[in-house]
Amino acid sequence: MYDEISPLDGRYKDRLAGLGDYFSEFALMRARCEVELRYLLALDKTGLFEPLEEEERGRIGELLSSFDREDFKRIKGIEKGIGHDLKACEIFLRDALDLKNPNLVHFGLTSEDVNNLAYGLILTRYRDHAQLPQLRDLIATLLDLVERWKGIPFPARTHGQPASPTTAGKEMAVFLSRLLRQARRLERFRFAGKLNGASGNYSALLASFPDYDWEGFAGRFVSGLGLEPNRATTQVEDGDRLSEFFSIVLAIDMIVLDLDLDIWEYISRGEIVQLADPDEVGSSTMPHKVNPIRFETSEGNISVANALLQAFMTTLTRSRMQRDLSGSTIRRNIGVALAHSHLAIGETIDGLRRVEVDFEAASRALEAHPEVLTEAYQTILRAAGYEDPYELFRNATRGKDISLAALRELIDHLEVDQKIKDRLRKLDVKGYTGIAIRIAEEVATQARDWLNRRTD
């Protein structure tokens, strides 16, 4: 119980419940058997062989729906003796199905035909049943903050220095908008698959039945699994589509990391506060602390996930000639990378549900820097034809601590129309947020529409 090597199977196991359905050795073997069994049923429809008997189809269907841990153990026992996982799967199926023509099992296939399709099934199901639902949860959580915070004036910083104010909701809307773009990419994405033999030329299949349209058969079979057929390959599916998928995951992770870092900064400045859990301890020595651990845990796990994903993108898109086994061990670690990403996003969601804007602290931060209004001052004066107002306010404020009263006194001495002076004097730091509220509302509408469409 306490000898796990990976924290994914130890410390974080409870937070990743269900991912074993996609990324465990059992899940991979179950998917391989599914591909083999569905291939058997597809072969039966070609009319090239004596039809399967009803009882045989029944056994195939039963194994498709009821593959369990005992079946898995039997396959692993066979593998231990022969040293080949896919051949062990074939031997198990031949024995379990007891077909009149056992040669139908794995007919004309290479191991990679089965493996690449099995991974395609696993990853498609992970995307549909775990990854997109979690992303919808993150988007819904951010949407709630955007709607509740859209009108709260909030300090902005560029290069870490005070800048033109914004609203807290609009800042969250930026991340929401970015995530929506990637969510749309993710839901449209299709994994690729190939079923064309040892060198990608359908050679064994054509040698057996030269007049049959094996290319059309393979295309229909791969499409029937929900994958996009890849026609021109070596023995292995080239991995380009996997790399595209990883790039989407990387983009999502980097957006979440960017959000983590900003929220962490806001918390450190006191402009956003965390709601304390009365049962939690923030420090072994400092009782007062409420640490932003969820955002920090997310940050760390994204670093691990993305390092792995970037390595996968550069290794799974190449092989020595037709095939080598370097990619095999890499693919077995896809679940590790995606689990770290999944864990990170879950931590960010949990963290976002525990934060609120400290309205008073945000107001104090805004009012402490009236110099941010000089952007508006010099722009208004430019429009009025005043000579070089930028230099005027740069000399008066850059690197200096200046009050709003001092700025207004400077305005009073300007040689401009009184209406312009009045307009400048009326500017307020907390009101100088442009169309931030409208932007937040527009993004919120887009997010709500996407969420509603995905749940109809």
By C-alpha distance, which of 144, 158, 236, 162 is closest to 192? 236
CA distance to 184, 203, 282, per residue, from 277 (Å): 35, 64, 10
Please identify every residue annotated as catalytic: 159, 283
Q: Which helix (H) or strand (E) holds 355?
A: strand 355-357
Three-class SS state of 114: helix
CA distance to 141, 146, 177, 184, 255, per residue, from 448 (Å): 11, 11, 11, 13, 19
State the DSSP code for 255: H
Beta bridge partners of 375: none
Q: Which residues contact 443 (CB under 8 A, 6 or more apart)?
A: 146, 173, 176, 177, 180
Domains observed in the chain: 13-107 (1.10.275.10), 172-358 (1.20.200.10)
Cα separation, 260 vs 254, whole angstroms: 10
Segment 310-316 long-range contacts (CB within 8 Å, at least 24 positions apart): 310/246, 310/250, 312/242, 312/243, 312/246, 312/337, 313/243, 313/246, 313/247, 316/239, 316/242, 316/243
Where does 213-318 have alpha helices with state H? 214-224, 240-269, 293-315
CA angle 67, 68, 72 (to 5 degrees): 95
Answer yes or no: are the C-beta atoms of 16 and 341 closer than 8 Å. Answer: no
**What local confidence, expressed as pLDDT, does residue 281 receive?**
46
Q: Is 125 exposed, middle or buried (0-12, 13-18, 19+ CB in 10 A)?
A: middle
CA distance to 96, 196, 220, per residue, from 233 (Å): 32, 8, 17
**What local confidence, expressed as pLDDT, does residue 370 receive?**
92
Answer yes or no: are the C-beta atoms of 98 and 91 closer than 8 Å. Answer: no
Answer yes or no: are the C-beta atoms of 275 and 354 closer than 8 Å. Answer: yes
Cα separation, 165 vs 369, whole angstroms: 10
In order along the chain (456 residues), what is the average pLDDT of each group of 10 residues? 73 83 92 96 95 95 95 94 92 94 93 92 96 97 97 92 93 98 96 85 90 95 93 72 90 97 94 76 48 89 92 72 63 87 95 95 94 92 90 87 90 90 93 96 97 72
Query: What is the dihedral sign for C-alpha 342, 343, 344, 346?
Result: positive
Q: Which helix (H) or strand (E) holds 348?
A: helix 334-352
State the DSSP code for 99: -
Q: State the amino acid at position 86 in one-letter form.
A: L
Whole-model pTM: value is 0.90
Radius of gyration of the chain (CA): 30
Structure tokens at 305: 């996930």
Q: Is 330 exposed, middle or buried (0-12, 13-18, 19+ CB in 10 A)?
A: middle
Our measurement of the distance from residue 283's CA atom to the centroid of its chain's CA atoms, rounded to an integer in Å, reads: 31
By C-alpha distance, which of 257, 243, 258 is closest to 192? 243
Structure tokens at 175: 């991340």
Q: Which helix (H) or strand (E) holds 158?
A: strand 153-158
State the DSSP code for 237: -
Q: Is 75 exposed, middle or buried (0-12, 13-18, 19+ CB in 10 A)?
A: buried
Please name the residue that has the structure tokens 């095939």.
323
Structure tokens at 116: 């690449």
**What local confidence, expressed as pLDDT, does residue 284 receive?**
40
Q: State the amino acid at position 137 in one-letter form.
A: D
Q: Compute, in degrees rounded to 10, the torsion defined by CA atoms 56, 59, 61, 62.
A: 170
**What local confidence, expressed as pLDDT, does residue 237 receive?**
63
Q: At what angle do helices 436-455 and 168-188 cross, to 10 degrees?
A: 30
